[in-house]
Amino acid sequence: MPIVDDASYNSLDLGHNNLENNDDETLTEEDISNLIDLLLEDDTYIFDFIELDDDNHNTGNNGVSRVEFANQVSIQNLERIRIHENPEQSSDLMCSICLEEFLIGTITIRLPHPCYHIFHEHCITRWLNMNNTCPLCRRTI
């Protein structure tokens, strides 16, 4: 089974060709937004993967773990934070899912102890609908 199916590859290739034909060689906000939408299409994440289960719990036929996702109640109970000023630490300046900066007034979600990573609300909600781990440190939520 291929890692990337032909339809996804062709879509990514088409997007690459469209960007290659851009004479000024800069990505517009619309280009980036379209690329993110393409990568997230059909709930597919470029960084999503199935982890091997060391304890052989929850495994399929070939020893690969089934991906578990967070339930809606646990997602709704996560701490929401509205950005009121520029974050002090450079690592807190952007969402590591979409790689966009946090703007003043943006609603973010901070994951619980021990990681406390912060993401745009819509980015992490979409991630947690398919996974039950932090996308950065892989700790279970």
| Residues of the chain falling short of pLDDT 70 | 1-25, 38-70, 86-92
Domain boundaries, the chain: 68-141
Looking at residue 46, its pLDDT comes to 44
Looking at residue 70, its pLDDT comes to 67
Q: Are 7 and 42 in contact (CB under 8 A)?
A: no
12-23 confidence digits (pLDDT tens): 544 545 545 555
Looking at residue 98, its pLDDT comes to 92
Fold that domain 68-141 belongs to in CATH:
Herpes Virus-1 (3.30.40)
Looking at residue 57, its pLDDT comes to 45
Print the SS3 string covering the chain: CCCCCHHHHHHHHHHHHHHHCCCCCCCCHHHHHHHHHHHHHHHCCCCCCCCECCCCCCECCCCEECCCCCCHHHHHCCEEEECCCCCCCHHHCECCCCCCECCCCCEEEECCCCCCCEEEHHHHHHHHCCCCECCCCCCEC
Instruction: For the beta carbon of residue 69, count every other beta carbon within 10 angstroms.
Output: 15
User: Distance from CA of residue 67 to its chain's centroid?
Assistant: 15
